[in-house]
Chains A and B, each alone.
Chain A
Amino acid sequence: MNVAEALVMVMQAWGIIGAVVAAVFLTIGIDRIDADARGAYIFRPLLIPGVLLIWPLVLWRWWQTETERAAWAERYRPVRASYGIAVVLMSLGIVAIVTLGLSVRQSWPADIAPLQLSEGARQ
């Protein structure tokens, strides 16, 4: 119970921090780092769920953009190389879990009859 309650609290805290980050980023930050967002307001509410979910990544990218830390070439380096790893892992995982799941599947043991092990004491 304690672990579950703690997890729910962490989730709530994550959401609250996310809301604060969203408020600041979507009113101030976004104009500073993306010229295309200046004067564009209608699309901003669409970004709120994203910020709520991945606000640490948002803060990190915001900081990177402000300080111009990311090398320009990084932007053009597709991650296609990891595609093979991702796909193989997913495939092996699915095969394993489905096999495992089906192997532990039970059928109703209708043939096992009740067995009396001892008589009831007479009262």
Chain B
Amino acid sequence: MIEKPFFVGYLPAPGPLRTFLLTVSILLIAGLGIAGFLMGAAQDDPGPGAFRFDYGRQTVTGVVELTPYPILHVTQGDDRIQPGDSFLMTAGGKSGVDSRAEPLNGQLAQVSGVVLERGDLYMLQLRSGRNGLQAAEGDAPVIAPEPQGRWKLAGEICDGKCLAGAMRPGRGLAHKACANLCLLGDVPPIFVSTQPVLGEEFLLVTGANGTRLPRAAYDYIAQFITAEGEITKRGDLLVWEIDVDTIEVTE
């Protein structure tokens, strides 16, 4: 048996061991650096969603409609938001604007806030209090809902705000708890369809008969699913009343 070098912590390392330890140290440091690079560079593209502070604050007027998630049908736009557009709204953080919008259902209101945009999808994060949402003078036109029939769609239920750009990535299972928390705070849920439905990739998703997305559907948030439900066009926004019993997880 050949004498092996014996290491004692508080004594200098024996000669032959020093070369070995130097090699191990260099490999360890290099290995950590390489691992950091590979893991960091392997991150997926989180999508194009973002807060558009560069657009500046938007102030527009329109008709408030509760689906029950509040929609604004624009009657008087600005240089970026056109009359005839319909969009969803949230408050700051993980909360919706329901309590502010409910008294104004069917009425004309002025809203002010910053745009969150992801492709065709955009919503407005309103300023707090009356600065963000207040009643406006004038007659509110009636926006007639246009039923589009019952559809079976494939895709993913997300929270609209994170998806639209409050977080990147703002969808997927690693983000599920955050999405649930947003929805519990009345942020409107959005369904991302695998293929465009009536020209739209993103649909507002609600429970049956104009209710909130039921808690039973929360188990499926961020998973890829198929489900059935009635689609209604409200303004230029599609609203899908999902039938929770028909939800199936795809392969």
Contact between A and B in the complex (any CB pair below 8 Å): yes
| Cβ < 8 Å to B, chain A residues 98-120 | 106-120
Q: Kindly list chain A residues whose C-beta atoms are within 8 Å of the C-beta of B154.
A: 109, 112-114
Q: Kindly list chain A residues whose C-beta atoms are within 8 Å of the C-beta of B144.
A: 123
Q: Kindly list chain B residues whose C-beta atoms are within 8 Å of the C-beta of A118.
A: 149-150
If A106-B249, A109-B194, A109-B250 touch, does A117 touch B226 (CB 8 Å cutoff)?
Answer: no
B194 touches A117 (CB 8 A): no
- Render B145-184 as a binary contact track against A, CB cut-off 8 A, 1 for contact: 1111111111100000000000000000000000000000
Which of B147, B196, B224, B228 sits near A109, CB closer than 8 Å?
B224
Is B195 an interface residue, CB under 8 A from the partner? yes
Is B197 an interface residue, CB under 8 A from the partner? yes
Is B59 an interface residue, CB under 8 A from the partner? no
Which of B148, B152, B155 sits near A115, CB closer than 8 Å?
B152
Q: Kindly list chain A residues whose C-beta atoms are within 8 Å of the C-beta of B232.
A: 120
CA distance A24 to B151 in the complex (A): 67
CA distance A109 to B251 in the complex (A): 8
CA distance A93 to B49 in the complex (A): 38
B250 touches A106 (CB 8 A): yes
Q: How large is the interface on B (under 10, 10 to 19, 20 to 34, 35 or more residues)?
A: 20 to 34
Is A88 an interface residue, CB under 8 A from the partner? no
A112 touches B194 (CB 8 A): yes
Query: Nearest chain B CB to A49's CB is how many angstroms away?
Result: 25
A121 touches B151 (CB 8 A): no
CA distance A86 to B62 in the complex (A): 65
CA distance A2 to B147 in the complex (A): 40
- Render B128-153 as a binary contact track against A, CB cut-off 8 A, 1 for contact: 00000000000000001111111111
If A106-B249, A106-B250 touch, does A114 touch B147 (CB 8 Å cutoff)?
Answer: no
CA distance A90 to B194 in the complex (A): 39
A117 touches B146 (CB 8 A): no
Query: Nearest chain A CB to B240's CB is how many angstroms away?
Result: 10
Which of B147, B197, B226 sits near A121, CB closer than 8 Å?
B147
CA distance A66 to B162 in the complex (A): 57
CA distance A117 to B246 in the complex (A): 13
Q: Kindly list chain A residues whose C-beta atoms are within 8 Å of the C-beta of B251.
A: 106-107, 109
Query: Nearest chain B CB to A102's CB is how many angstroms away?
Result: 13
B150 touches A112 (CB 8 A): no
A110 touches B147 (CB 8 A): no
Q: Kindly list chain A residues whose C-beta atoms are within 8 Å of the C-beta of B231.
A: 120
Q: Kindly list chain A residues whose C-beta atoms are within 8 Å of the C-beta of B145.
A: 123
Which of A106, A108, A113, A123 sits near B147, CB closer than 8 Å?
A123
A120 touches B195 (CB 8 A): no
| Cβ < 8 Å to A, chain B residues 176-218 | 193-197
Chain B residue with Cβ nearest A111: B194
Chain B residue with Cβ nearest A121: B147
Q: Kindly list chain B residues whose C-beta atoms are within 8 Å of the C-beta of A109.
A: 154-155, 194, 224, 226, 250-251
CA distance A113 to B154 in the complex (A): 7
CA distance A121 to B144 in the complex (A): 13
Which residues on A are within 8 Å of B, measured CB to CB?
A: 106-121, 123
Interchain residue pairs with CB less than 8 A apart (8):
A106-B223, A106-B224, A109-B250, A112-B154, A115-B151, A115-B152, A120-B149, A123-B144
